[in-house]
Amino acid sequence: MIYFVDGLLWAIALVLGFIAARRSRKLLHDSVREGVIDCARLIPRIMLGVVGSGYIAAILPEEVVGHWLGADSGFTGLCIAFVGGMFTPGGPVIGFSVGAAALKGGAGTPQVIAYTIAWALFAVQRLVVWELPVMPERVVWLRVMASLPLPFLAAVMAMLLGRP
> What is the mean pLDDT, run by run of 10 residues, along the chain of 164 residues?
88 94 94 94 84 77 84 91 91 85 89 95 91 94 95 93 70
| b/e sequence 118-154, b meaning 16+ C-beta within 10 Å | bbbbbbeebbeeebeeeeeeeebeeeeeeeeeebbeb
CA distance 30 to 139: 37
CA distance 156 to 108: 12
pTM of the model: 0.74
Which DSSP letter does residue 60 get?
S
The helix-helix angle for 74-86 and 62-69 (nearest 10°) equals 100
CA distance 63 to 17: 51
The candidate with the shortest Cα–Cα distance to 70, out of 118, 116, 112, is 112
> Three-state secondary structure along 86-118?
HCCCCCHHHHHHHHHHHHHCCCCHHHHHHHHHH
Q: What is the pLDDT of residue 12?
A: 95
Q: What are the residue ranges spanned by the domains of the chain?
A: 1-59, 61-164
| DSSP reduced 3-state for 135 | coil
Contacts 24+ apart (CB under 8 A), 124-129: 124/86, 124/87, 125/89
